[in-house]
């Protein structure tokens, strides 16, 4: 056989040898229980298919077999989320499981973090140890100026070191392992939301704190909205023009409609949580004929895109039956002045709690001050909200058409069955001006100057505060 034939044969053999599949260790599952000592390496090969699952339980068919009568045949299922690079666990065992002391059972898949401790039954403890990652937010982003500060986090600008693109980075205050579930909650809701009027989440990071083993810094990398908060626009202008308010509110309703159709309640809608992304005219060519305004904006603005942000209090409510218990919740939350009567009274509530907050926001857009305030008391702001005690005071509402006030009145409706849904709000005639305004007058609680002599508003306007 010639040398050339031999070389060709060797080349063919090399082609026939299958390339060895890459197998990387993701994490190790550890247990030092006397009857169940475990050190199980979770590798990428175990998840070669998208629907691959690791099973933990008493059955011999499980990847990790446990010897304990309180453990179900299949107690846990674990999958790998390729986007977050995290293992996710679901408990299907009868006796439940706790993660860092928090009980889970028959839930959706929940992400696991480094050093998480799972207790199965009464005795068996499993610890998750991820392979040490080198990915750090500081390797990818250069931090800039502060954009805002909240109860749980600070938001700063961040420049991607590779692309130069600007983002908003939400840096949560120091968290322990249990607190990571608050972070996970917001990030998991946001990562699945895709709508032009909802802030977009691009990446998440968890950073260890040197010399503080059980504490972490967590980060969300999100859209940067160059126009800042809607709150600042209102304060700067005093109030917004009617057409300007209408366009901003229309966009906001579009985002909330998307949330509600996906069974998500925001629960903290207020001007501080509404961001504006503004496209400005070229300052060097202010009269450029190709620059076309897309809405009723200021002279130097071509377009404004509204983005609803801050999903730290958002909640998923499952179920397609509108009367199902799954569609109601009872957690006390929200911001004073914007919170609905049902929340203040510790009643069960549904997505219509967002509609109340939207009614407050629209009221503020059009007149520059809130409908409920201790400055308007007595009674107290809380009691004003519980009674839906508000009015449209002269002269601040004299120029606002009845049809706009009708929309607000249907949003600030005490009876949740009568309160507008987001679909009803989107379809309200104010947005098309077809129905004459006059037919709405009989429903509006306008207060004339003679009627408000004894109110705070007869002296000065209520101040809008955070």
**pLDDT category of residue 317 using cuts at 50, 70 and 90:** low
What pLDDT was estimated at residue 447? Answer: 62
Question: What are the φ/ψ torsions at residue 448 (nearest 5 degrees)?
Answer: -85, 165
361-404 per-position pLDDT tens digit: 999 999 999 999 988 888 999 999 999 999 999 889 999 999 99
Say if residue 239's pLDDT is above 90.
Answer: yes
Q: Which are the contacts of 145, defined by CB distance < 8 A and separation ≥ 6?
A: 156, 157
What pLDDT was estimated at residue 401? Answer: 93
Cis peptide before 66 (omega within 30 of 0): no
Say if residue 259's pLDDT is above 80.
Answer: yes
CATH homologous superfamily, domain 237-458: Transferase(Phosphotransferase) domain 1 (1.10.510.10)
Question: What are the φ/ψ torsions at residue 97 (nearest 5 degrees)?
Answer: -150, 150
What pLDDT was estimated at residue 62? Answer: 94
User: Smallest Cα–Cα separation from 308: which of 419, 403, 229?
Assistant: 229
User: What DSSP element (H or E) covers 206?
Assistant: strand 201-209
Question: What are the φ/ψ torsions at residue 94 (nearest 5 degrees)?
Answer: -70, -35
**pLDDT category of residue 204 using cuts at 50, 70 and 90:** confident
Average the pLDDT over 324-329 and give the result.
Answer: 42
Identify the weakest region by mean pLDDT among 60-64, 121-125, 231-235, 251-255. Answer: 121-125
Say if residue 450's pLDDT is above 60.
Answer: no
Catalytic residue among 68, 116, 247, 268: 268
DSSP 335-361: -TTTS-HHHHTT--B-THHHHHHHHHH
Question: What are the φ/ψ torsions at residue 170 (nearest 5 degrees)?
Answer: -90, 115
CATH 3.30.70.20 given to domain 137-222? no
Work out whether the CA dihedral 53, 57, 59, 62 comes out positive or negative: positive
**pLDDT category of residue 329 using cuts at 50, 70 and 90:** very low
CATH architecture assignment, domain 25-130: Sandwich (2.60)
Cis peptide before 238 (omega within 30 of 0): no
* Active site annotation includes 268: yes
101-118 per-position pLDDT tens digit: 788 877 678 888 877 889
Would you say 299 is a known binding-site residue? no
Say if residue 407's pLDDT is above 90.
Answer: yes
Average the pLDDT over 286-306 and give the result.
Answer: 85
Residue % of the chain over a pLDDT of 70? 79
Q: CA 296 from chain center: how many Å?
A: 28
Supply 391's token pair.
């009015």
- Listed by start position, the domains of the chain span 25-130, 137-222, 237-458
């Amino acid at each position: 056989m010639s040398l050339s034939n031999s070389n060709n044969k060797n080349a063919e053999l090399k082609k026939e040898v299958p390339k060895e599949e890459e197998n990387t260790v993701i994490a190790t599952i550890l247990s030092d229980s006397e009857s169940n000592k475990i050190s199980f390496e979770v590798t990428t090969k175990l998840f070669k298919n998208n629907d691959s699952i690791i099973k933990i339980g008493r059955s011999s068919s499980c990847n990790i077999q446990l010897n304990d009568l309180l453990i179900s045949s299949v107690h846990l299922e674990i999958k790998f989320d390729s986007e977050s690079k995290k293992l996710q666990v679901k408990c299907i065992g009868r006796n439940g499981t706790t993660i860092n002391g928090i009980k889970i059972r028959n839930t959706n898949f929940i992400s696991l973090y480094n050093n998480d401790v799972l207790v199965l039954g009464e005795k068996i403890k499993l610890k998750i140890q991820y392979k040490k990652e080198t990915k750090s937010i500081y390797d990818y982003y250069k931090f800039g100026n502060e954009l805002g500060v909240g109860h749980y986090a600070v938001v700063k600008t961040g420049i991607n070191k590779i692309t130069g693109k600007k983002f908003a980075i939400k840096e949560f205050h120091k968290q322990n392992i249990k607190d990571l579930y608050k972070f996970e909650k917001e990030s998991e809701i946001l990562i699945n939301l895709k709508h032009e009027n909802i802030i977009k989440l691009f990446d998440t990071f968890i950073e260890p704190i040197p010399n503080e083993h059980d504490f972490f810094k967590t980060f969300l990398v999100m859209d940067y909205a160059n126009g800042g908060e809607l709150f600042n626009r209102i304060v700067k202008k005093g109030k917004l023009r009617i057409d300007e308010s209408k366009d901003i509110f229309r966009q906001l309703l579009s985002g909330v409609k998307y949330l509600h159709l996906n069974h998500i309640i925001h629960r903290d809608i207020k001007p501080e949580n509404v961001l504006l992304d503004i496209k400005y005219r070229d300052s060097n060519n202010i009269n450029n004929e190709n620059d076309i305004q897309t809405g009723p904006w200021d002279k130097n603005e071509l377009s404004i895109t509204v983005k609803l942000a801050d999903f730290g209090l958002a909640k998923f409510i499952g179920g397609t039956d509108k009367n199902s218990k799954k569609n109601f919740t009872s957690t006390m939350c929200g911001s004073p002045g914007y919170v609905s009567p049902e929340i203040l009274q510790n009643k069960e509530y549904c997505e219509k709690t967002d509609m109340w907050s939207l009614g407050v926001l629209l009221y503020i857009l059009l007149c520059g001050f809130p409908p409920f305030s201790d400055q308007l008391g007595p009674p107290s702001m809380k009691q004003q909200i519980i009674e839906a005690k508000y009015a449209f005071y002269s002269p601040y509402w004299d120029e606002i058409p009845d049809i706009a006030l009708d929309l607000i009145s249907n949003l600030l409706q005490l009876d949740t069955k009568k309160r507008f849904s987001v679909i009803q709000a989107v379809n309200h005639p104010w947005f098309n001006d077809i129905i004459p305004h006059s037919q709405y007058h009989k429903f509006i609680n306008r207060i004339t100057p003679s009627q408000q002599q004894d109110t705070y508003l007869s002296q000065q306007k209520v101040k809008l505060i955070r």
